[in-house]
Structure 1
Amino acid sequence: MTDDVFDEGARDWLEAELADTLDEDFEIELEDAILSQEIRKIYDRAHPNQIDRKVYFQSLLRLQSELIKLQDWVQHSGEKVVVLFEGRDSAGKGGVIKRITQRLNPRVVRVVALPAPSDREKSQWYFQRYVPHLPAGGEIVLFDRSWYNRAGVERVMGFANDDQVEDFFNDVPEFERMLVRSGIRLVKYWFSITDEEQQMRFLMRVHDPMKQWKLSPMDLQSRVRWEEYTKAKEEMLERTNIPEAPWYIVPGNDKKRARLNCIDHLLSQFPYGPIPHDDISLPDRVFKPDYERAVLPRDLYVPAKY
């Protein structure tokens, strides 16, 4: 094979790989595709100044390349990072977490989304079930909801009584100071959306069979108790916004801008820089003339339906 033929083949392969990468991006962005056309029209009218798709993708890819540098820096330096994502149901927490982790190493960056506590966990120290998920050196942990459940859903829905909530508010500042003193870098985000925006996103979920699983009875109750959640949020922010671990509010009505702004701000919280890497070279394939590849039974293969 000549070098020209090899170079042409390599170019074709690279183009195919890039196309696959873009397909992944579009696959994620098409999450709103199966929608009632009327709901889509209403949504578009409510968001007249949406960011240009090309600008969005260019910005997202640039920020994701910086996230890879952050990941390398955390792994190289042995830093420990915790990022909390809080907000009302449908505020966009999951969307930004998905974009943060999309191109990162799951052995370095992991997401924690705990279910409701078991009966055993309910009898433990409140923070106990979160502690095992904290990072070791060289790890980043993203909490999709966190110990702040007690100040929000547990309080509003009556799963925690007034004394338990008050104990939480007294304990959480010191708990977070302990985390920071232990060397953990703690960043806390609250995703803020309006009443009208949440209603529209819930309607989109109702009309999208691929998103209906996101609507739980608890989510529906959050619509009924909007004002109670608002009061709970305001007290939470007031009583837990400490210098060692301040809150950062992300305006979330525009999902794409919220993602870009949050990732950009997260990157600004760390003094990361380029990490030296050894040059990577592909070793030559070793051929053994006496090796013969076994023929496997056809029933071991996945049927080629596509």
Structure 2
Amino acid sequence: MKTIFQDLEYLSSYIKDNKAKKVIKELEEHFQALRSKSGLKQLLGKKKLAKITRNVKYEQELVNLQVELIKLQNWVYENKKRVMIIFEGRDAAGKGGAIKRFTQYLNPRKFRVVALQKPTEVETGQFYFQRYFQHLPNPGEIVFFDRSWYNRAIVEPVFNFCTPEQYQKFMKEVPEIEHALIDDGIILVKFWFSISKENQQKRFKERMSNPLKHWKLSPVDQKAQEMWDKVTHYKEEMFSRSHTGFSPWIIVDSNDKKRARLESIRYILSNIDYEGKDNAHINLHHDPDIVERYHRRTHDEH
């Protein structure tokens, strides 16, 4: 009983925070439940209090990190820096949800999210990188790529959307392209959101049962499970041939979406020296068990 009231006291301390307002009503219901033995038993049985505590802690951590992201954005803008963050990963790995938390409170005039559709007939005949180059960050801007030119490293060869020659040409050119961008001053980060086969299947089922997420389903998604091993092969080839000292792949364990969001934000904040960074009050050190540089070993996606 004492522990429960301590948890409730902890939660109550965050009620002034706007992000915690949504749990106030639920907290009040739990306070009422504590008045009866049956209510307490139900509360403990369903572990609702522990879940609410975790959610409030997550929301508070997220708010703190988003404040730092605003500082980062202001620094990028004032110093005319160019930042490009690539989000790659299997279908349903949580890329879009992570980008949403990155950009939630940023000034929309100072960032862009790029999520390109399949190439047009004209674009198919162009230099492969051409349609991506027009979306590179301008001075003072952060650009988030929800998938990128690495479609040609995995999706296109897996589903035969490119020829073997086009694939090999891309794999040869991409390290040189990225080296040129970085040499020109662009800050480039490449995230791979890693998910297990079992969790991917669970998220697909959720999309199918939730009408608000039907739009996320695509014919490619529906084949993702049966193409798992083939995707794994091309993923490992991509890491092996495009992971470099100047442009490394950063692997994010996204089996827990909330932890993946927090730790990927921390990675960005800890690796860019922006002004006003609050190291004293906020943990800006990413968890190496969640976020790590790629190294040549088999990943848990298998």
Q: Do the two structures share a fold, i.e. TM-score over 0.5?
A: yes
Query: Does structure 1 retain, via aligned residues, the 8 Å contact 2:20–2:56?
Result: no
Query: Does structure 1 retain, via aligned residues, the 8 Å contact 2:20–2:59?
Result: no
**Aligned pairs (5 A) from 1:126-165:** 126-165=128-167
**Cα distance change, pair 134–50 in 1 and its aligned pair in 2 (3 A):** farther
**Cα distance change, pair 269–164 in 1 and its aligned pair in 2 (3 A):** same
What is the DSSP-based 3-state SS (H/G/I as helix, E as strand, rest coil) of the residue aligned with 1:249? Answer: strand
Equivalent residue, structure 1, for 2:266: 264
Paired with 1:254 and 1:50, the residues of 2 have a C-alpha distance of: 16
Query: Does structure 2 retain, via aligned residues, the 8 Å contact 1:51–1:256?
Result: no
Q: 1:75 aligned to 2:64?
A: no
Equivalent residue, structure 2, for 1:102: 104
Equivalent residue, structure 1, for 2:38: none
TM-score, length-scaled by structure 2: 0.75
Paired with 2:201 and 2:23, the residues of 1 have a C-alpha distance of: 27
Higher relative contact order (CA 8 A, sep 6+): 1
User: How large is the Cα RMSD of the aligned pairs?
Assistant: 2.4
Q: 1:176 aligned to 2:178?
A: yes
Equivalent residue, structure 2, for 1:228: 230
Query: Does structure 1 retain, via aligned residues, the 8 Å contact 2:23–2:52?
Result: no
> Who wins on radius of gyration, i.e. which is larger?
1
Q: What does the per-residue CA deviation read over 1:109-130, in whole Å, with 9 as the maximum and x for residues that have no partner?
A: 1100000000100000000000
What is the DSSP-based 3-state SS (H/G/I as helix, E as strand, rest coil) of the residue aligned with 2:212? Answer: coil
**Cα distance change, pair 100–240 in 1 and its aligned pair in 2 (3 A):** same
Equivalent residue, structure 2, for 1:119: 121
Q: What does the per-residue CA deviation read over 1:60-81, in whole Å, with 9 as the maximum and x for residues that have no partner?
A: 0010000000001001111000
What is the DSSP-based 3-state SS (H/G/I as helix, E as strand, rest coil) of the residue aligned with 1:224? Answer: coil
**Cα distance change, pair 25–179 in 1 and its aligned pair in 2 (3 A):** farther
Paired with 2:148 and 2:274, the residues of 1 have a C-alpha distance of: 26
What is the DSSP-based 3-state SS (H/G/I as helix, E as strand, rest coil) of the residue aligned with 1:223? Answer: coil
What is the DSSP-based 3-state SS (H/G/I as helix, E as strand, rest coil) of the residue aligned with 2:251? Answer: strand
What is the DSSP-based 3-state SS (H/G/I as helix, E as strand, rest coil) of the residue aligned with 1:85? Answer: strand
Paired with 2:111 and 2:23, the residues of 1 have a C-alpha distance of: 19
The number of residue pairs the alignment matches comes to 239
Task: Tell me the amino acid that sits aligned with residue 105 of structure 2.
Answer: R
Task: Tell me the amino acid that sits aligned with residue 88 of structure 2.
Answer: E
What is the DSSP-based 3-state SS (H/G/I as helix, E as strand, rest coil) of the residue aligned with 1:158? Answer: coil
Paired with 2:82 and 2:138, the residues of 1 have a C-alpha distance of: 6
What is the DSSP-based 3-state SS (H/G/I as helix, E as strand, rest coil) of the residue aligned with 1:242? Answer: coil
Query: Does structure 1 retain, via aligned residues, the 8 Å contact 2:84–2:187?
Result: yes
Paired with 1:50 and 1:161, the residues of 2 have a C-alpha distance of: 51
How far residue 274 of structure 1 moved from its aligned partner, in angstroms, is: 2.6
Query: Does structure 2 retain, via aligned residues, the 8 Å contact 1:82–1:135?
Result: yes
Structure 1 unaligned spans of 5+: 1-16, 27-43, 276-306
Paired with 2:146 and 2:23, the residues of 1 have a C-alpha distance of: 21
Task: Tell me the amino acid that sits aligned with residue 155 of structure 2.
Answer: V
Task: Tell me the amino acid that sits aligned with residue 64 of structure 1.
Answer: Q
TM-score, length-scaled by structure 1: 0.74
Paired with 1:67 and 1:114, the residues of 2 have a C-alpha distance of: 24
How far residue 161 of structure 1 moved from its aligned partner, in angstroms, is: 1.2
Query: Does structure 1 retain, via aligned residues, the 8 Å contact 2:88–2:147?
Result: yes
Query: Does structure 2 retain, via aligned residues, the 8 Å contact 1:51–1:257?
Result: no
Structure 2 unaligned spans of 5+: 1-15, 25-45, 278-302
How far residue 24 of structure 1 moved from its aligned partner, in angstroms, is: 8.8
